Structures are given as C-alpha cells and as structure tokens.
Amino acid sequence: MILTTQHYDKARAAIAARGFDPEVQTRISLFLGAAKSVNAAILGAVELQPQIGIAYPFVHGQYFREVEFAALLARVTRWSPNWATYAYGGRLTAPLWTLWWRIQLPPGPALDARAAYSALALGHALLARVRTAPLIPDNANEMDPFVAALRRIEQESGRMIQAQIRLLKDGASPLPLDEREQIIEAKQEAVDEAFRSFLEWLAGDAR
Amino acid sequence: MAFATINGHRIRYELHGDAGRPLVSFINGLTQNADLWTAYGARLADSGYRVLAYDMLGQGQSAKPVLGIELAEHADILAGLLAHLQAGRTHLAGISFGGVVALDFAIRHGERLAGLAVMSSFAELSPQLELLGNVMYEGLTQVGLPYLQSMLYPMNMSSAWLAANRARIPTMMRSGYIGNDLYALQNLMESFIDFKPLTPRLKEIRGPVLLMNGEHDFFTPRECHELLRRELPNCRLTLVQHAYHAFTIELPDITLRQLHEFFRTVDDGTWVGDGSVWVASDRADAEPHAFPCPGDHMRALPLPARRRPA
C-alpha cells in the first residue's frame, strides 16, 4: 500500500487529541531510534570500503550524527511504563533490522557490489522516507525538548541524505542502471511498508 | 485516481469529463501535483471538455526515480500517457517547469497538439533565472525541502494572497512536504544541468500558442515570455494583471477564463496568432476577456510605448 497524506493526517490527529504523552513519545522514539540505529550500523560497515573514496568524511560524519540522534531521542523521550508498547514497537522495527541483516549475509557489502549498493539504498530510504516532522500537530509546543528533537532530526536528515544521493547516482558501481533503480525501489517499498505500519500504530488503527 | 505504467514508470493521473470530448491536458510546476488542477478539470468538464492532469515523473504519487530523470523523459511520458488513453490531439497547458515540458512536447510531439498554453515559463535560462535556480537548488540540498517551500511562497504569490492565506500556509506546506520527496525534486532540478535552450527549435511549433505572464512575475519575468513571443510563429502573449508567478493558484477564475477562450477560438477556427500582446481583464466574467496592451509591455514604469519588432 502506498504511503499517503491520509496516513500522516490520521496519526497527527491522534497525537493532537492526546498530546505528546509518554505513550506517543515512546512509540515515535522506538521507530525513529531504530531507523537512526540501522542507518548508523550501515554507515559503520560501509565507511571503510575503498569505493567510498572522497565521500568518506560525509559518511563518517553521518555515522556520528545518527548515533547522536539515537542518543538524543533516548534522552528527551518520556518513556512509557507500558511493556506492551516495547513489545509491539519491536515487532514494527524488526523489518528495518532484517533488511540490514539480509544485506550482510555472505559475501556482504565488503565483497559484493550488489550488497554494497543495497546498503546505501537502504540508508537512503531510511533518511528519505522516515519523516516525523509532519506528525507534529499545529498546536504543539515547539520548545518542548521532544518536539525540538524531532524538528532537528528531520532537518538534518534532509541535509545528510546528500551523501547517499551522490554515492547512489555518481559512485562507481558495476551494476546496470535498471538493477540499481530496482534495488533502490525495493528498499523504499520495504521502508514505506514498515513506516506505514508505524503511522497506523500512532493513529490507533493498530494495537 | 488512476495509474498507468508508461515507459517503465508508474504514472498517476486523473481524468475529468466524458470520453470523446476535446481533450485538455495540464502539466504541473516543479513542486506541484495533479490535484492542483482539480477545480480546472471540473469547470472545463462542465464546459464540454475532457481534462487530463497527472503527477509528473518524480512528483506526487508517480514513480520517483532516485538515479535521475532526463528532461526529455517528461514529454515522452506525456506522449505515452496519451497513447495509453487512446487520446487523439490535445490542448496542452503547462506552468513554469511544466511550461518547458509543454514546449518540448510541442517541438517533438507536435502532431498530437491542438493548442498550447505556456504559463510563467521559459525556453532558455537567462542569467537571472539560472542564478535564481542555483539558489533554489542550494537551498534544497543544503538546508532542506521546507526551506525551498518557504522561499517559493513569497516568490510566487502576492502579498494580498499571502496575507489572506497566512493561517493556511503551514498546512499547505506540510501537505506539500508529505507529497514531495527531496531527492525527487532535486532530480527534477538537476535535469536542467544539461538543459539545451529550446529557442532554436521554437519556430517548429506551428500550432496556436497562448503565452501567459503575471504582471509582477520576477521569477520568469517578461523577458522570458518576450523571447517566446518573438520566436513562436503563431502566438499571442497575455499579461495577467496583479499576478506573480503562480497565478494558476492565486487567480484560478481569471486563468481559466483565458484558457477557455483560447481553447474555444482554436477549436472554432477563429484564433489569431499574430504575436500581439494582450492584458487579461481583472474580472473573470468581464467582457471582453482581454484587451490589447496599451503601453510598452516590456516596461514596469508607465512610460509611452516605443516601436519594437512584432
């Protein structure tokens, strides 16, 4: 199913109705934190590959920024005492980790061009498609640390993605164009699917 | 909402009006999508037309290739979509980026064209336009999509519109942010890196062309449209009073009236493409819908006209 404006609208309306209470903050932090952690894991694995070349400082910098954001979320979130939230959140974020684990199967990104390209494509999809700023209701307190963190993370994701864009478009890869586009599209669809489930969870359409 | 696979890409489109009627197709600007033509589609359908609007490659719910889009792909996809719909000839209206695509379509697929309306657009990058484009690109890539959106509203709309819609702008920006992807817009902008001016081929467009330019449009100013007016052999230029770049959004009734009159005169054979310059009446229901420009259309100061080549 395509991710639509309605998915965002329903989730935002649900947040507006209850505010950024610990349950909402926990749900968002579980998913967004997982997206940042998966991308950090990817960056840590690919940054030393020779084909990264001149992009190394950008990839390396992005790795630390993603770790910083995962830590920021952990710090600003008012965590829910509801254990079921963590259990369900783990179920929703498992597909993101699984995508990365599959890429690492031997021969893995260091030895296989397709796996290396898939890793960058997954990082691109995580930065491009996991967007939480549109979930912030109009009446939200912009000085709230959690809201401020979401804004900051969103803006920085928009900047950082330039590393993935340039590497995917201009980086050396032996893969033909069609295959590269297919890899990117598949990763976007997979991330969209997980993100849609997350938005439905926020909207109350899921458990 | 419907989808078709054209040249390997998924394209989302909307049709208004019954099959068999004269077809009008719309092409969006850079950050737009097909929904912005919904009101135009409904009104033109009431007037006996069939209307096609679609998300261009990289926009809305159409495919958004990450690895780049050639500018020529857009016109080819429109031709493919028309073939998919088994449409014959079409009137075509494009704004801004969509106007460039419309010109390219007219040059390379002219046999499919009835009449062409080019709004707030250009055939080549003037130094001013190129540098403004560079700033927009830098804003998008270095700061982000919300920055580009914030930049475009005051560039494209009048103060009156901004004041009247101020409370709605955050919601409109959010909707645009969700519907667009930074990398896809970046690709659309990067497709201009190898842009070859269309100017040398404009004379190949033999069919009727209506050029429309906002009175105060400083993004694609008069000089862009004047170049088109001089090169296109069967055109007229209409200036839209009080308007900036995005008059299709700000003044839909007036825009629709001008387009409707253009399509009507083309269809009934009374169109005169004499290169003349007109001013759109500032009421949609005014008679006539436009009047000859009484002054020097190249000047902002109200000085007397001087002779210039037709």
In total, how many domains does chain A have? 1
Name the phi and psi angles at A45, rounded to 5.
-80, -30
The domain containing residue B218 runs over which residues? 2-292
Residue B302: inside a domain? no
Residue B150, number of CB atoms within 10 A of its CB: 15
B12 belongs to a structural domain: yes
Asked whether residue A108 carries a pLDDT value surpassing 60, the answer given is: yes
Q: Catalogue the E-assigned strands of B110-247.
A: 113-119, 209-214, 235-240
pLDDT at A168: 93
The pLDDT tens digits of the residues spanning A134-161 come to 999 999 999 999 999 999 999 999 999 9
| C-alpha to C-alpha distance for B280 and B292, rounded to whole angstroms | 9
Q: What pLDDT does A68 receive?
A: 97
Q: How many interface pairs between A and B have CB atoms less than 8 angstroms apart?
A: 52
Classify residue B309: in a domain, yes or no.
no
Within-domain flag for A4:
no
Q: Say which DSSP state A54 is in.
A: G
B11 forms beta bridges with B4
The pLDDT-based confidence of B4 (bands split at 50, 70, 90) is very high
Count Cβ atoms below 10 Å from residue B182 Cβ, excluding itself: 23
With respect to residue B102, please indicate whether it lies within any of the assigned structural domains. yes
More confident residue, A69 or A54: A69
CA distance A159 to A166: 12
pLDDT of A207 reads: 47
The rounded distance, in Å, linking the Cα atoms of A19 and A35 is 23
How far are the Cα atoms of A35, B107, B292 from residue A145, in angstroms, in the given order?
A: 20, 55, 59
Structure token digits, residue B48: 């006996």
Instruction: Summarize pLDDT for B196-241 with one digit per residue, the tens.
Output: 999 999 999 999 999 999 999 999 999 999 999 999 999 999 999 9
Q: Is the pLDDT of residue A126 over 80?
A: yes
**In this structure, is residue A119 part of a structural domain?**
yes
How would residue B42 be classed by pLDDT, with cut points 50, 70 and 90?
very high
Q: Kindly indicate the confidence band of residue B305, based on its pLDDT and cuts at 50, 70 and 90.
A: low
User: How many separate domains does chain B show?
Assistant: 1
Q: Residues B297-309: what's their mean pLDDT? A: 74
Let me know if residue B305 belongs to a domain. Answer: no
Which residue did the predictor score with more confidence, A52 or A103? A103
State whether residue B167 sits within 8 Å of chain A by CB. Answer: no
* Domain assignment present for A127: yes
Beta carbons within 10 angstroms of residue B113's beta carbon? 21
CB contact, 8 Å: B150 with chain A? no
pLDDT attached to residue B301: 84
Tell me, yes or no, whether A3 lies in a domain.
Answer: no
A197: number of Cβ within 10 Å: 19
Contact B186/A165, CB-based, under 8 Å?
A: yes
Q: At what angle do helices B127-138 and B145-156 cross, to 10 degrees?
A: 140
CB A122 within 8 A of CB A96: no
CATH of the domain at B277: 3.40.50.1820
Q: What are phi and psi of B262, to 5 degrees?
A: -65, -50
| pLDDT at res. A27 | 98
Interface residues of chain A, partner chain B, Cβ below 8 Å: 2, 4-5, 8, 121, 124, 128-129, 131, 133-134, 138, 155, 158-159, 161-162, 165, 168-169, 177, 180-181, 184
Angle between helices B182-190 and B145-156 (to 10 degrees): 60
**Over pLDDT 90: what percentage of chain A?**
82
Who has greater pLDDT, B287 or A110?
B287
In a domain, A95, yes or no: yes
Q: Is residue A99 part of a domain?
A: yes
Least confident of B85-94, B189-198, B227-236: B189-198
Average pLDDT over residues A118-128: 96
pLDDT in tens, A4-26: 889 999 999 999 999 999 999 99
Backbone angles phi, psi at B223, to 5 degrees: -60, -35
Bridge-based pairing of strands B113-119 and B209-214 is: parallel
pLDDT over threshold 80, residue B307: no
Pair of tokens at residue A7:
């998915």
Tokens 């505010």 appear where? A19
Q: Is residue A66 in a domain?
A: yes
Q: How confident is the model at residue A47 (pLDDT cuts 50, 70, 90)?
A: confident
State how far the Cα of B53 lies from the Cα of B35, in Å rounded to an integer: 8
Closest alpha carbon to B275 in B238, B223, B249: B238
pLDDT at position B309: 56
Confidence (pLDDT) at B192: 85
Closest residue of chain B to A135, computed from CA coordinates: B174
Residue A75 contacts by C-beta under 8 Å, 6 or more apart in sequence?
none
The rounded percent of chain B whose pLDDT value lies above 90 is 88
Which structural domain, as residue segments, surrounds residue A152? 11-203
Distance (Å, whole) CA B70 – CA B134: 18
The pLDDT-based confidence of A89 (bands split at 50, 70, 90) is very high
Q: How far is A49 from chain B (nearest CA, A)?
A: 21
- Residues of chain B with C-beta less than 8 angstroms from the C-beta of A165: 66, 183, 186
Check pLDDT > 70 for residue A42. Answer: yes
Q: Is residue A6 part of a domain?
A: no
Residue-wise pLDDT tens digits, A157-197: 999 999 999 999 988 889 999 899 999 999 999 999 999 99
Mean pLDDT computed over B116-144: 95
